[in-house]
Structure 1
Amino acid sequence: MKQELKENTGLPSSLLWILAIIAGISVANLYYNQPLLNLISHDLKVSEFSANLIAMTTQIGYALGLLFIIPLGDLYKRKTIILINFSILVVSLLTIATAPNIYIILLASLLTGICSVMPQIFVPIAAQFSTPETKGKNVGMIISGLLTGILASRVVSGIAGEYMGWRFIFYVAAVLMVVCVIIIMRILPDIPSNFRGKYSDLMKSLLSLVTDYPQLRISSLRAGIAFGSFLALWSSLAFKMEQAPFFAGNNVIGLLGLCGIMGALTASFIGRYVHILGVKRLNYIGCSLLFIAWLSLYIGQNSYAGIISGILLIDIGMQCIQLSNQTTIFALNPKASNRINTIFMTTYFAGGSLGTFLAGTFWHWFGWSGVVGTGIALTACSLVINIRAKK
């Protein structure tokens, strides 16, 4: 049932739960391909590097969607934008499922990335309409749903790929998007826009926000580069696990995502402590956990204990970094919440694309040591930005 929303007065828990679940289902579209890259490589007879471009192209598409589509949430009805994007996703996912070659997959993956940005409209809704004391908790809940979707997608696609082939999961994803369209039409209220003017004026205002708020630049960069470190692991893990000594099938590779879900579920808990510990301190904690994670992934690279420990630590560390930075930037200008989130998340996924590309490149040249080196280098860059930041 639709309910009217008023700024800073609170979100109904039922609506918050539904938004968190749909956030997870929709963002999963970005990550279904990652445990399947080895299967796609074998099936289409392309190199591992070429298959890795599918993951990178999807991330680039997501960054483009964040930059050019999410700002529309301040200009037009958010419900309309969400419904249009979910409808396009049905087409793009079916295209991937039926694609005869990698070129069509790359094009459809770009479109899938562009249109899978809808959870980033849900996050500003949670921030804008929650009461001040529940803002961090509610944003954390949406992020928990989003991250659970990211990690669960790897589990589901890995298992489905092992037993049903890599195309099956994309048919399922298309059906889920149809279900999401029906639910959004029924439960999401119409939310008034926050910006008066043309789309060109809206896009120009993005540059003004970047110029006017140094904290927005710092938060976006240190979180985005850390996310590159995070995705360096997940975009290369399938290639690592199919080799000796594991010789793991895609079902096992997918199940490793369950380890990450434990980290994702800490997001709501961490969100409660953003204002207590402060952004800078949580970033130090997050970077420290990322360093320890990569150390575990290198030293224990031939054991499940080392891999699983690394996955757990890197996910919890990433929550500390993302949540601390993302939750606090909305206070800079609440009326521009969608545009502020656009700047943050565009930088975030540009960093993710960089990490995916570098990990794929250095895997090709140096194997797992190259991936670990990429993760450590990107974490170090994020740490340097945090050291130089005022807060």
Structure 2
Amino acid sequence: MSSAAAVPVTPGLTPGLVPIMSVATGLAVAGNYYAQPLLPAIAREMGLSAAGAGAIVTTAQLGYALGLLLIVPLGDLLERRRLIVVMTLLAAAGLLVTALSPSMAGVFVGTALAGLFSVVAQVLVPLAATLAAPAQRGKVVGTVMSGLLLGILLARTVAGALATLGGWRTVYWVGAAAMALAALVLARRLPRYQHSVGLSYPRLLLSVLGLFREEPSLRLRAFLGAAAFAAFSVLWTSMAFLLAGPAYGFSEVTIGLFGLAGAAGALAASAVGHLADRGHGDRATTLGWWLLLLSWGSLYFAPLSLAALILGVLALDLAVQGVHVSNQGAIYRIRPEARNRLTAAYMTCYFIGGAAGSLVSAAAYGAAGWSGVCLCGGIVSLAGLAAWLGGSRLHKAVSGA
């Protein structure tokens, strides 16, 4: 193994860099969600069935999963600023290909490219944790992760609004331009940073599996992340059916605005970072799981009360973001030199949980309506709470804490 190389980094984070990284993270992940409200329009133009148009979303998800496994670990090998800028430009290129495509083949290629390189968000988060002072790390990670969740929640709202102004391709033109601008700003503002682990690329990828085997804390936090994002997907996958159905009869534009309610919860969750910075990360995790479980009690009454729905959405998004931030704070303390590989391992499980939650939610709504969705969400949340309470006690017993 070769010796590790290190390029000196600008001490700490320069003023304004955290918001820049947060916005760039949100823009990157938003590219995977633009298509969801645009599928009917794309299907009409391309002459596709609903199932054929839905394959666009699946393509984005597969691209993102592949990026998590194959690209994110490179952050522990290559110089970070250059890697981030190149990935951001390639994600912009993917969006541009989609905007220019005259056929579905081009749309799928552009979607796959954008999904593959949008994992730049998962390189920015560990870099923010690395650059932050230890006493501020939780707050910084919370802020950047709020940007990521805001990107997921607001992408649908923004895409719907832009499409009404200039058609579905306008969304991808604007998205590509925004990503290109983000690459320019990041190239100018990010400090150079490299800390290579000295592994070949194949051994680097294998070491991700080794981290799972060697670190019980990573295994626990990965399961918790998967369960939390599954609960998130259970809600957001089926909520549009409820809002468009007899209970409310809202239009697509109005439904998209509910992302704003979730965004408020995501922004409030940055306070979780303060708890972690003061040594209360485990307490934040416990509070998050209890809040997540209780949120389904409010959501159960959503068909009868809009206030109950909004309260439940706020609570659930706050809880999911809180658990996620405390999870990342915990895994980043395991091996600082392996933060990108830890992120790849954790986020792959997080992504699998989200995909499973979407599948379960759609099946539950079809079989038992909104009450079935709430039951599934409650079960997933209860399983996460039980795993956390049991796992944390076992860890304390083994470590003698």
TM-score for both structures, normalised by structure 1: 0.89
Deviation of the 1:309 alpha carbon: 1.6
* 370-379 vs 250-259, greater mean Cα deviation: 370-379
**Contact kept? 2:227, 2:381, Cα under 8 Å:** yes
Q: What does residue 328 of structure 1 align with? A: 330
Candidates 217, 221, 224, aligned match of 1:222: 224
CA distance in 2, matches of 1:371, 1:99: 37
Q: What does residue 5 of structure 1 align with? A: 9
Deviation of the 1:69 alpha carbon: 0.5
CA distance in 1, matches of 2:103, 2:287: 44
CA distance in 1, matches of 2:146, 2:57: 22
Q: What does residue 198 of structure 1 align with? A: 200
Deviations, residues 336-360 of structure 1 (Å, cap 9, x unaligned): 1111111111111121121122223
Deviations, residues 221-272 of structure 1 (Å, cap 9, x unaligned): 1111210110222233333322223232222122111111211112321111
C-alpha spacing 1:228/1:279, structure 2 compared with 1 (3 Å): same
CA distance in 2, matches of 1:39, 1:243: 21
**Contact kept? 2:41, 2:168, Cα under 8 Å:** yes
C-alpha spacing 1:224/1:103, structure 2 compared with 1 (3 Å): farther
Deviations, residues 74-124 of structure 1 (Å, cap 9, x unaligned): 111222322332232223223444556767655543432221111211111
Which structure 2 residues correspond to residues 6-85 of structure 1 after superposition, within 5 A? 9-37=11-39, 46-47=49-50, 53-85=55-87
Q: What does residue 127 of structure 1 align with? A: 129
Deviations, residues 137-184 of structure 1 (Å, cap 9, x unaligned): 111121122222222223212323445444431221111111122222
C-alpha spacing 1:104/1:285, structure 2 compared with 1 (3 Å): farther
Q: What does residue 354 of structure 1 align with? A: 356
Deviation of the 1:45 alpha carbon: 5.0
* 215-224 vs 101-110, greater mean Cα deviation: 101-110
Question: Which residue type is aligned with residue 231 of structure 1?
Answer: S
Deviation of the 1:379 alpha carbon: 1.8
Percent identical among aligned pairs is 35
Candidates 240, 251, 258, aligned match of 2:253: 251
**Contact kept? 1:140, 1:323, Cα under 8 Å:** yes
Where do 5+ consecutive residues of structure 2 fail to align?
Answer: 1-6, 396-401
**Contact kept? 1:52, 1:235, Cα under 8 Å:** no
Q: What does residue 386 of structure 2 align with? A: 384
CA distance in 2, matches of 1:374, 1:59: 22
**Contact kept? 1:151, 1:258, Cα under 8 Å:** yes
Task: Tell me which structure has the larger Cα radius of gyration.
Answer: 2
Q: What does residue 265 of structure 2 align with? A: 263
Q: What does residue 210 of structure 2 align with? A: 208
CA distance in 2, matches of 1:96, 1:242: 29
CA distance in 1, matches of 2:315, 2:134: 30
Deviation of the 1:203 alpha carbon: 1.0
C-alpha spacing 1:293/1:74, structure 2 compared with 1 (3 Å): same
Q: What does residue 179 of structure 2 align with? A: 177
**Contact kept? 2:59, 2:112, Cα under 8 Å:** yes
TM-score for both structures, normalised by structure 2: 0.87
Question: Which residue type is aligned with residue 18 of structure 1?
Answer: I
C-alpha spacing 1:247/1:225, structure 2 compared with 1 (3 Å): same
**What is the root-mean-square deviation in Å for CA atoms of aligned residues?**
2.6
Question: Which residue type is aligned with residue 46 of structure 1?
Answer: S
Which structure 2 residues correspond to residues 146-185 of structure 1 after superposition, within 5 A? 146-185=148-187
* 347-356 vs 179-188, greater mean Cα deviation: 179-188
**Contact kept? 1:160, 1:251, Cα under 8 Å:** no
Which structure 2 residues correspond to residues 278-293 of structure 1 after superposition, within 5 A? 278-293=280-295
Question: Which residue type is aligned with residue 68 of structure 1?
Answer: L
Secondary structure of the 1:116 match is helix
Candidates 273, 276, 280, aligned match of 2:275: 273
CA distance in 2, matches of 1:208, 1:67: 14
1:141 and 2:147 are equivalent in the alignment: no
Deviation of the 1:191 alpha carbon: 1.1
**Contact kept? 2:93, 2:176, Cα under 8 Å:** yes
Q: What does residue 4 of structure 2 align with? A: none
C-alpha spacing 1:228/1:55, structure 2 compared with 1 (3 Å): farther
Secondary structure of the 1:118 match is helix
Q: What does residue 398 of structure 2 align with? A: none
1:304 and 2:314 are equivalent in the alignment: no
Deviations, residues 278-331 of structure 1 (Å, cap 9, x unaligned): 444333322222223223222122543232122111111112210111111111
* 38-47 vs 317-326, greater mean Cα deviation: 38-47
Q: What does residue 345 of structure 1 align with? A: 347
Secondary structure of the 1:332 match is coil
Where do 5+ consecutive residues of structure 1 fail to align?
Answer: none
CA distance in 2, matches of 1:68, 1:204: 11
